[in-house]
Amino acid sequence: MDSVDLEVIRTAVKWASEGHRATLGTVTHTWGSAPRPVGAMMVIREDGQVIGSVSGGCVEDDLIDKVKANSLGASKPSTVTYGVTQEQATRFGLPCGGTLQLALEPVMSHSRLEELLKIIERHELVARFLDMETGAVRLEPGKWSDLLEFDGKLLKTVHGPSWRLLIIGAGQLSRYLAQMAQALDYHVTVCDPREEYAAEWTLTGVPINRGYPDDVVVGMNLDAHSAVVAVTHDPKLDDAALLEALKSPCFYVGALGSKKNNDNRRRRLAEFDLASAEIARLRGPVGLKIGSRTPPEIAVSILAEMTAVRHGVQIPETIEPPRASVTAGCVVPQA
């Protein structure tokens, strides 16, 4: 499952190869309650077809009209700002007077998007630099800490997976979790030394490491852009990974299992060289309490919690909803 940005770049390359005129738009600055974050992208074809979004639908129609009229980003990069006045905010549907600035550029051979696409598809981070005056582009290896930068003359954008996820265990849940995480711009690695699981792992773009979990965690040199989720139900494997992950700077560490099992896990971890504050970082049972039962639902709950933690959102404790059965098309709560 591809991220939105990868779909935009792949489409831009495809349209250019087919001889279409296309314009690539990137959000460079936002003020107030802008609907989309800095770095959001879209590509518009000369006939008005569009992939991606820069405002959640607020200003896209106006951008499409301008691109069709060949009045924006036609021959060289340019910028456009929406929502400077309350009248514009109301006209374009920007909430609470929010403002966004976009860089628009024509998709041409020297845009180097085909080369950029190949690098991203190798799951590598890359920084792209666009000269707004000349349209010249250069590509450099990216770093996990890189962010979009724009001074009006040079636009630096960062592409590829800017977050890392290590999943301990190669079972069915891991497949859904890995696929969904890829759509959220995670570079995913699965670790499982068990032959019966590792031999069946065939998910494209997600490598499997056959090493022992604690060695893999240490070897990956996890940072604040990294997350670890243990889902094997085997304490020998899960605890080994968690023991090292909780000592690392990674922003999220979670473990599958019931509250009772995770309470027992915390007692086991306390027997090692972990401080109480480090053990308290463990999110177990992992994921938001949304009543999830199936592997896809559990994957959604885990990634929802990871997203909240990434954005610094306080997650209130929620009550697990009562189990329900379906009878003749009706949901019947069970006591």
The pLDDT, as a whole number, for residue 99 is 83
Model confidence over 103-127: pLDDT tens digits? 999 999 999 999 999 998 887 889 9
Strand pairing report for 154-159 and 149-150: antiparallel
Q: Which CATH entry fits the domain spanning 163-310: 3.40.50.300, 3.30.530.20, 3.40.50.720, 3.30.390.50?
A: 3.40.50.720
Model confidence over 299-326: pLDDT tens digits? 999 999 999 999 899 887 654 555 555 4
Reported pTM: 0.72
* Domain residue extents for the chain: 4-159, 163-310
Which of 1-10, 66-75, 93-102, 162-171 shows the highest mean pLDDT?
162-171
Residue 330, pLDDT above cutoff 50: no
Model confidence over 162-187: pLDDT tens digits? 789 999 999 999 999 999 998 888 98
The pLDDT, as a whole number, for residue 33 is 67
Question: In b/e form, how buried is each residue of 205-242, taking b as 16+ CB within 10 angstroms?
Answer: ebebbeeebbebbeebebeebbbbbbbbeebebbbbbb
Average pLDDT taken over every residue of the chain: 88
